[in-house]
Amino acid sequence: MFNENSPIQQIFHPDLADTGTELWIKRDDLIHEEVSGNKWRKLKHYVEKAKGRDGIVTFGGAYSNHIAATAATGRLLGIETIGIIRGDELCPSSNHTLSKANSDGMRLLFVTREEYGFRDQLAYHKQIKQEYGNVVVVPEGGAGYEGIVGATEIIRGHDDFDVVVVSCGTGTTLTGILISLKSHQHVIGFSALKGGDIKEEVCRMIGEYFLDKSIEGDYLDAFSIFDEYHFGGYAKVDSILIDFMRSFYQHTNIKLDPVYTGKMMFGLFDQLKNNNKYSGKKILAVHTGGVQGIKGIEEKLGTHIF
């Protein structure tokens, strides 16, 4: 049902003609029509844990791809899902993401920002389990150990690439890729958020994953983060970004999403055009999915992107 062996394909675009690079894309957007690619990767091992239990409880904001992915996965695999949503002013019909999650059978609980702030606390998880039974509590965005493990599977078998490129929210996906790299490879993350220190977060996750804080430093040379391509912040867009996504679609027939992969690809093109250190390199950009988010942004813009 989930096509984890998603294909890779080469990208041909006039903007790249003089860069001396070879760009390929890993089509994790094709893992499933409804379940965003990296969200499935991160959910997969939590779903295994949920077998024989009472369901999955997780957390997210109003436009969360993770909430959408969890709800759809629950419907497809017959797992009860509960979504704790940030903002008690919201309701199931507030936007496309929430109404789809609701119709997928997710029970949506709208909580104050204050209560949402407890989402990583064990005492809060205990309370959730008292109320909803023997559920698996999945961190926001599918982060955590199981999420990282799932992300280690993304570039498996693609040792011939020099550089891997991925969009970052929590940095969980990048951390999984980083752990799975061969010694000659490097991973670049493009942050979809304004502010926040993804580098520090990745180091923290590496330490937690190996249960050894002293190991963090070993990975510092193997990854870099660009944080100046956020276009004003999470889920903010402008006409430059939309024009770029349209041009990319025209030349490749691939839809990027405006929240994550559109900004990543814009930033990557900018770097490849202006930074000759990538010349001669074979690059693999990960299409992490997120295409469900297009509708929400189109609703906000009042126009179609594609």
Measured from the CB atom, the residue of 19 and 81 that comes closer to ligand PLP is 81
Kindly state the smallest distance separating residue 134's Cβ from ligand PLP, in Å: 27
How far from 43 is each of 36, 154, 233, 244, CA to CA, in Å? 10, 13, 25, 30
Measured distance CA(179)–CA(92) in Å, rounded: 38
Measured from the CB atom, the residue of 108 and 285 that comes closer to ligand PLP is 285
Kindly state the smallest distance separating residue 17's Cβ from ligand PLP, in Å: 27
Contact 132, 82 (CB under 8 A): yes
Measured from the CB atom, the residue of 129 and 300 that comes closer to ligand PLP is 300
Question: Which residue has its beta carbon closest to ligand PLP?
Answer: 290
Kindly state the smallest distance separating residue 290's Cβ from ligand PLP, in Å: 3
Kindly state the smallest distance separating residue 155's Cβ from ligand PLP, in Å: 14
For the chain, how big is the Rg over CA atoms in Å? Answer: 19
How far from 183 is each of 124, 207, 214, 222, 224, CA to CA, in Å? 40, 19, 19, 8, 15
Residue in the block written with tokens 């024009």: 243
Measured from the CB atom, the residue of 81 and 288 that comes closer to ligand PLP is 288
Contact 185, 218 (CB under 8 A): no
Residues 6+ apart with CB under 8 A from 287: 25, 26, 27, 28, 29, 37, 254, 256, 261
Strand partners, 56: 81, 136
Measured from the CB atom, the residue of 129 and 236 that comes closer to ligand PLP is 236
Contact 20, 275 (CB under 8 A): no
Q: Which of 226, 241, 227 is nearest to 297 (CA)?
A: 241
Measured from the CB atom, the residue of 39 and 199 that comes closer to ligand PLP is 39
Token pair belonging to 47: 């779903």
Interface with ligand PLP by CB under 6 A: which residues? 36, 38-39, 65, 141, 167-174, 257, 260-261, 288-290
3-state secondary structure of 108: strand
Kindly state the smallest distance separating residue 298's Cβ from ligand PLP, in Å: 16
Measured from the CB atom, the residue of 105 and 196 that comes closer to ligand PLP is 196
Kindly state the smallest distance separating residue 54's Cβ from ligand PLP, in Å: 26
Kindly state the smallest distance separating residue 300's Cβ from ligand PLP, in Å: 17
